[in-house]
Structure 1
Amino acid sequence: MNFTFEVFEKTRGFFRIYLDQLSLDELNKIPPGYNNNIIWNIAHIIATEQVLIYKLSGVPMLVSDDFVNAYKKGSKPEVDVTQEDVNLIKELLTETAKQTKINYNNNAFVNFPEYTPETTGTTIHNIDEALTFVLFHDGLHLGIVMALLKSVKL
């Protein structure tokens, strides 16, 4: 699992670079043809990881229910984020990845029910498969962020 967590942390680092380099206006902009923005996609990967890894395992999430509700599947940006929000998301990108690795190594995720995400239709049976799906999901949204970036920078 070392490789999985190495990829997890590096992918989160790519998202953090966007947060460091883009203005609030760029992060909040919803280009024509899209229903969300760069910051929503970045926060969404955190919310999804927390639900798939923690909530399904019955382990307390590292983020609030309000955070998850704001960025869960099916949600969309309702208000522009502030710099304070961006700072929190930056911290969560790093800290949730680190804590998930610690909790995994401490066998915190032993009660994992089967779950079938609509994205793939493939059933996740255990924490290792859930982590693999989270990597896929993060990569999917990294691609979306890259597409959004091209539209935002026009």
Structure 2
Amino acid sequence: MEALFKTWKKSREIYLSYFEKYSLDQLNKIPNGFNNNLIWNIGHIIVTQQKLIYKGANLQGYISDELFNKYQSGTKPTAPVSQKEADELKDLLTSLIDLTIADFQQNIFTTYKERTTGTGFHLSSIDDAFECNNYHEGMHLGYLLSIRKFV
């Protein structure tokens, strides 16, 4: 799990750098031919991590229902994200790592709802969920790399 956590931390560092490299207007811009923007992808990976890890283990997690509903799979941006919300997402990118790792080390993930994701990953354990999360974050990083060329 240490290698998995190390990869996850690096992934989140890369996502975090988008807040330094792009203005709020750029983060919110939906380029022609795209359904979402840089900031939506960031919010989405945060929500998906909470869904895969916490909801999959029948636990509440650390994000609001409002954020969950705004960035879950099947959604897209409906209005620009405010600076306040962007700051919250920026904070969650890193703060959730330590919380989740601490929860893992405290063995709070005692059960897991077995299921197959929309992309075909069969999840039968919390370990599967962590691995799927890293894959998912890598996939959305690819989307960011495409979108950034047009903002």
Aligned-partner Cα distance in 1 for 2:121–2:75 = 23
The letter for the 2-side match of 1:140 is M
Aligned-partner Cα distance in 2 for 1:20–1:115 = 37
Q: Which residue of 1 aligns with 2:140?
A: 141
Asked if the contact 2:15/2:141 (under 8 Å) is kept, the reply is yes
- Compute the RMSD of aligned alpha carbons: 0.7
Aligned-partner Cα distance in 2 for 1:149–1:88 = 21
Deviation string for 1:120-140 (max 9, x for gaps)?
x13111000100000000000
The 4+ residue runs of structure 1 with deviation greater than 3 A are: none
Name structure 2 gaps, 5 residues minimum.
none
TM-score (norm 2): 0.98
The letter for the 2-side match of 1:89 is L
The equivalences for 1:81-96 within 5 A come to 81-96=81-96
Matched residues, number = 151
Aligned-partner Cα distance in 2 for 1:56–1:127 = 8
TM-score (norm 1): 0.96
Asked if the contact 2:38/2:144 (under 8 Å) is kept, the reply is yes
The letter for the 2-side match of 1:2 is E
Q: Which residue of 1 aligns with 2:18?
A: 18
For residue 11 of structure 2, give the secondary structure of its aligned residue in structure 1: helix
Query: Does 2:97 match 1:97?
Result: yes
Aligned-partner Cα distance in 2 for 1:145–1:51 = 21
